[in-house]
Chain A
Amino acid sequence: MTTTHSTTKIVDALQAALPGRVDTDPALLDAFTTDRSGHRSPGAPLAVVNACTIEDVQAACRLASEFRVPVVSRGAGTGLAGGAIAGPGEIVLSLTGMDRILEVSPANRLAVVEPGILNGDLNRVLAGHGLWWAPDPASKDISTVGGNIAMNAGGLLCAKYGVTREAVLALKVVLADGRLITVGHRTVKGVTGFDVCALMIGSEGTLGIIVEATLKLQPLVSGGVATVGAFFDSVEDAAAAASAITAEGLVPSIMELMDGRTITAMERFAGDAVFGGAGAFLLVQCDGPAAQATASRAAALATAIGGRVETTTDPEESDRLVGLRRNAFPALEAMGTMLVEDMAVPRDRMADAFAAIRRIEQKYDVAIPSTCHAGDGNLHPSFVYTGDTVPENIWAAAGEMFRTALDFGGTLSGEHGIGLLKRAWLRDELGDDQYELQRGIKELFDPLGILNPGKVFVPED
């Protein structure tokens, strides 16, 4: 994006309008050139605005509109698609300072929060009320509620409890020109007009800035948990077991699959053969009154497919098994820079998807350790490399992976979003007509094109 006004002018104007909220220190700005995607922008942004109130956000947007300067909203910067990365000529709007809980209403099972609160912090407070907010990305302790909403984040528990979209009742959103709107309803149901709230969820900071959220809460699950860890010789067997569990009509709260390459990385990271050298690991956790009954049925199905199965209702042992899964990313990150893919396929194509990953590994001569939210068919094939730029063969392999997902009737991204990383393939998935409609929507919310430009859609010129 080119600007006709001098870039110092907007910074001056921001500083005058928002004294004490604007940082231009290059050392600080460097942090905003990356997120957790492995991407880095070509240089530092102009400034970061540390918003503390809705009015701050409105003022920043009004000035950005006036000076036609791009605004990149940013939560905790844990995104895996490059969505919060800012570069030269852009302003970062940081929302982590807006982190208050404004209301918890057990009688309505809702909470009203500012966008910058960390998911984990919120859930610790809610637990005191016997409630929780279901979106549960593996990054819950380090990502913001606003970022979760902007990405429509999923997680380990969402096969049973739904993704972020199902857990948001209403939003306050600041538009590109600084106007404030409320979308959605404080009531559980409501159908007045088009569902602009759903449109905002997952819009990756390209339609507006989420400044307040009314969240739908759930009662904490009673009755304890039962956990099954199943070790298999091959990933195909593990995928078949997961499919069998779904086909049986069981609804575990967590069902996670890890392949042999991930297991090897984790055993190296832990310095211990925690998986006993298995070729794949399937983790199944069941909660609620049916926990034990569901778990023993799942265990029987896994055993029938050749799994070596451990079942436990002991909370500590359960935590240990779930911890095995939560450590997968850190173990892989320890080996270099990570590029995490995020395709989703129909649940009966999981074994095919793993077979395709192995074929791509051979064709491009790369290792692709993969984990999978098996309850909803969402795979995370990961590439690990050294340095700041993604090697050529990895890009090529990633591209083929996307096409494979589409061939299986699946999608490019189950939960991490498009950002910079997958924008080149968006049109392939949506088709020309839908792509144009989506652009039409982008244009009506953001006619000047100042909200997170270059993310989600490839710039036209």
Chain B
Amino acid sequence: MFRPGMKGNTVNTSPTASAAMTSATAALLESLACASTDPQDRAHASTDRSGYVSPSVPDGVVFAESIDDVAQTMRRASELGVQVVPRGAGSGLAGGAAAHAGQVVLDVSRMNRILHIDPVEQIAVVEPGVVNAAVNAAVAEHGLFYAPDPASTAICSIGGNIATNAGGMWCAKYGVTRESILALRVVLPDGRILDTGRGTIKGVTGYDLNALMIGSEGTLGIVVEAKLRLRPRPVHTATLVAYFPDVAAAAQAASAIIAARVQPSVLELMDGQTLAAVDAAQGSDHAVRGGAFLLAQTDGYGAYLEQEVLVEAIRPYASSMEQAADAEHAGALMAARRAAIPSVEELGRVSICDVGVPRNRLAEAFAGLDAIAAKTGVRIFTVAHAADGNLHPMIVVEPHESITEGPAKEALGEMFHLAKGLGGTLTGEHGVGLLKRDWLQAELGDTSLELQHAIRDVFNPRGLLNPGKAI
């Protein structure tokens, strides 16, 4: 199993090994058998996949192996007043798991067991560190699947997915993470254990704290166990790829599909620049076939009937269309989309943005992104979960340039204003983390933001858990 950044052993070196460490963090790390102060572990835990460069490294990393480890860490940390940053697989794109000096990282990636699969109830109970793809591989044997599948499925953890309310390709039809989590076990900042949600499909006793935990980016508690809702695998899946003269035509086609009242399970759009990047990295030839690409999947018994409706909706805009002949062909098309981010990452330093817009305004969003690239001088490559109006414009700068300051930051700010102007949102699925806090108030307004702080204070009154993130 892929376990990013995991080392075979962690050394429990003496706290004096690190000069900058405070006495409180030293006391915490010394008291925990599963703690590491290895420089490499600490450097690794100082950032995630957002491109954010932390000014310093955390004082240590706790590699929890059980709920008890987590509870003990939090109890001790709150006694000692130590700030704790939860960490899953570190694939986050908002700097949510990034940590700095004076902080301790609580890494749950070793808690990666699948505890129970119940094919009759269509439920799985898992530890938080299990990798998303590992869950899907295990439940596939029972003819089931776990629907929220971020493009990072092979490198992200279920706990991180829950903390960010991750989306993915299938969520147009099957919903985001929130719709697939029945219950959670959470360790609160003071070490107490809280169970939210329930074992049944429906339930309305009291406020929905389960939903509140989902997407809280590690600021309300640490997810240590999750009960996942699984779904029967669709009997048929029909995959189609269409090429367009330009991205505007592709965006119009995507909007036409929504208006045509079919429900694709996957609807992914890539612009011309991204196609060229994928071709360069993968040796494929998408860019010669068009200036934009739309990948559409329909599933269930009606997959092929729905595909016919979809084809009619796209026809006026597309320059060519191709139906996947078999599962292998479909897999290759999906792989092209999954390769988009890594391929662009080969071109320089990348910041992956995450705006959401109403679904009939996709074309305007793409036009706006072109204008932002022209204005700020950064390169922008864009993929989109088109069925939910969620765009991932990737800002690319040269390897020596900053991705969090200067033109890159200016472009990010412009994107937010673009999304807001179109009736959209700052972040569709990656979260606010560290990198989007500057614009949060503009989106939520003062009163909402005040309430959000008050909610955090109910769970995390001393602000020791993931301070400065999300809100």
Contact = CB atoms under 8 A, between A and B. Distances in A.
A165 B211 contact: yes
Given A182-B445, A188-B390, A220-B261, A378 B202 contact: yes
Interface stretch (A267-275, A309-317, A414-422): A414-422
Of A110, A185, A194, A346, which is in contact with the most chain B CB atoms at under 10 Å from its CB? A194
A194 B432 CA distance: 10
Interface string A205-240: 001000000000011100100000000000000000
Interface in A412-447: 412-418, 422, 426, 429-431, 433-435, 437-438, 440-442, 444-445
B413 interface: no
Interface stretch (A57-65, A115-123, A150-158, A323-331): A150-158
B201 A347 contact: yes
Interface in B174-230: 175-176, 178-179, 188, 192-196, 198-209, 211-212, 214-216, 220
B278 interface: no
Given A195-B178, A289-B306, A190 B428 contact: yes
Given A196-B455, A413-B205, A290 B300 contact: yes
Given A198-B212, A434-B196, A441 B205 contact: no
B447 A412 contact: no
B356 A195 contact: no
B455 A444 contact: yes
A180 B446 CA distance: 11
Given A188-B359, A444-B454, A199 B202 contact: no
B255 A179 contact: no
B121 interface: yes
A257 B28 CA distance: 56
A131 interface: yes
A375 B454 CA distance: 38
B451 interface: yes
A199 B209 CA distance: 7
A249 B143 contact: yes
A249 B142 CA distance: 10
B175 A181 contact: no
B222 to A, nearest CB: 15
Interface stretch (B53-61, B163-171, B393-401): B163-171
Interface residues of B, number: 94
A293 B234 CA distance: 14
A355 B345 CA distance: 60
Contacts of A409: 198-200
B215 A195 contact: yes
A223 B211 CA distance: 34
Given A166-B179, A186-B424, A246-B122, A415 B440 contact: no
Contacts of A185: 356, 424-425
A410 B199 contact: yes
A378 B203 CA distance: 9
A131 B263 CA distance: 12
A347 B445 CA distance: 42
B206 A456 contact: yes
A362 interface: no
A88 B63 CA distance: 57
A105 interface: yes
A192 B443 contact: yes
A411 B120 contact: no
A288 B16 CA distance: 67
Contacts of A373: 202
A193 B440 contact: yes
Interface in B91-117: none
A376 B451 contact: no
A223 B144 CA distance: 25
Nearest to A247: B120
B259 A189 contact: no
Contacts of B259: 106-107
Nearest to B471: A193
Contacts of A191: 164-165, 215, 427-432
A165 B208 contact: yes
A108 interface: yes
A351 interface: no
B262 interface: yes
A159 interface: yes
Contacts of A433: 188, 192-194
A293 B305 CA distance: 15
Contacts of B195: 431, 434
B119 interface: yes
Interface string A160-181: 0011011000000001000111
Contacts of A22: none
A207 B179 CA distance: 23
Contacts of B305: 223, 289
Of B119, B235, B430, B458, which is in contact with the most chain A CB atoms at under 10 Å from its CB? B458
A223 B302 contact: yes
Contact of B204 (A180, A415, A434): A415
Contacts of A198: 178, 208, 211-212
Given A109-B258, A189-B356, A434-B196, A195 B204 contact: no
A202 interface: yes
Interface in B440-468: 440, 443-445, 447-449, 451-452, 454-459
Contacts of A78: none
A400 interface: no
A246 B201 CA distance: 12
B175 A414 contact: no
Contacts of B164: 191
A282 interface: no
B387 to A, nearest CB: 8
A345 B471 CA distance: 36
B448 A437 contact: no
A152 B204 contact: yes
22 contacts: A106-B259, A185-B425, A187-B358, A188-B359, A190-B427, A191-B215, A193-B444, A194-B452, A195-B165, A199-B208, A219-B262, A250-B232, A289-B305, A344-B198, A344-B203, A376-B201, A377-B202, A411-B203, A414-B200, A422-B205, A434-B194, A445-B451
Given A108-B360, A195-B215, 19 more contacts: A185-B425, A187-B424, A188-B172, A188-B356, A189-B425, A192-B432, A195-B178, A196-B448, A198-B178, A243-B120, A290-B300, A293-B301, A348-B121, A409-B200, A414-B202, A431-B194, A438-B209, A442-B207, A444-B451
Closest 9 pairs (CB-CB, A-B): A289-B302, A290-B301, A249-B232, A219-B261, A198-B211, A107-B360, A187-B356, A188-B388, A376-B201
